[in-house]
Structure 1
Amino acid sequence: MEKTSGPRVKQFSVFLHNRVGALLEIVKLLNANDVHVLALNSQDSTDSAIVRIIASDPEAVESLFDLHEIAYSISEILVVEMKEVATDLKRMLQGLLMAEVNILVCYPILIRPHGRSAMALHLDDQDCAWSVLSGEGFRILSQTDLSR
């Protein structure tokens, strides 16, 4: 089991009006300031969307969103590295089930840290999930792992 060190990964949840180009504006703002989107998830309704973003530089994202008055919230999430997606996904989900940890949101990471797939998980008990998944041999990635 590999012990991960470094800060936990931050997920930004951003409120956007459901209109053409709204997400592009956010991505362009981040890219113009040398911040890269590492993972992205969007849930929309008729008039609005909540976009979840994991970025290469969370501190810069906070500053940019504050400066541009973009509504957001921050959550700490787990990013779990998978060596073999076909078997590791099932094993990860079984571990969370046995620990009675509920998945609130999950989505894949766009980059491949260490050349492997990874899944972002927003859970109802982050600490329990961290302990269970680490105990099962999964590597939990830090913000440092993703920002390299």
Structure 2
Amino acid sequence: MSLKQISVFLENKPGTLHTMTTALAQNGVDMRALSLAETKDFGIVRLIVDNVYAATTVLKDAGFIHSLTPVLGVMIPDEPGGLNQVLQVLNEAAVNVEYMYAFLGGADADHAYMIFRVQDGEAATAALTSHGIRLVDQDEVAGL
């Protein structure tokens, strides 16, 4: 079970990020999670959105270079050590975490969500679900 993350490549100059978010907002795309990494000349925005098709169409039409990447959406208990429990399961399964970022959402206040990019999505999914850790799919994220 995976989510589709949109990675958008942006020039690192004033207004570029705003131009991208304006295009998405004007076309009714709701961002669920966002991560921004930068270098001197460019940035990479990683997005989880409610409607992947609409978002990628808008980005293409607006001239933004982007790609889709499979990632895992994991419910994390909102308590001390909640993330550590998930990382322990991944560690025991020898799954390497390439990057991750968090977001909040939904009416249930006893958990948060983490987005994980891992080297082996199938092994991560198997390990997490076998330990009762709940993954979220694209439809569930769209409904948050």
Task: State whether structure 2 residue 133 is matched by structure 1 residue 138.
Answer: yes
Aligned twin of 1:10 = 4
TM-score normalized by the length of structure 2: 0.92
* 2:61 corresponding residue in structure 1: 67
Partner of 2:91 in structure 1? 97
- Give the 5 Å matches for 1:1-148: 8-112=2-106, 114-115=108-109, 116-148=111-143
RMSD: 1.5
CA separation in 2, counterparts of 1:117 and 1:97? 20
Q: Indicate the structure whose relative CO is greater, using CA pairs within 8 Å and at least 6 residues apart.
A: 1
1:110 CA drift (Å): 4.2
SS of equivalent residue, structure 1 residue 86: coil
In structure 2, runs of 5+ residues without a counterpart are none
Q: Report if aligned partners of 2:77, 2:83 keep a CA contact under 8 Å in 1.
A: no
Moved >4 Å (runs of 4+): none
Aligned-partner Cα distance in 2 for 1:136–1:32 = 41
Shift of 1:34: 0.9
Equivalent pair of 1:113/1:145 in contact (CA under 8 Å):
no
- Counterpart of 1:4? none
Is there any run of 5+ residues in structure 1 with no aligned partner, and where? 1-6
Query: SS of the counterpart of 1:91?
Result: helix
Q: Report percent identity of matched pairs.
A: 27
- Contact kept? 1:39, 1:111, Cα under 8 Å: no
| Distance (Å, rounded) in 1 between the aligned partners of 2:6 and 2:13 | 20
Q: Distance in 2 between matches of 1:27 and 1:112?
A: 22
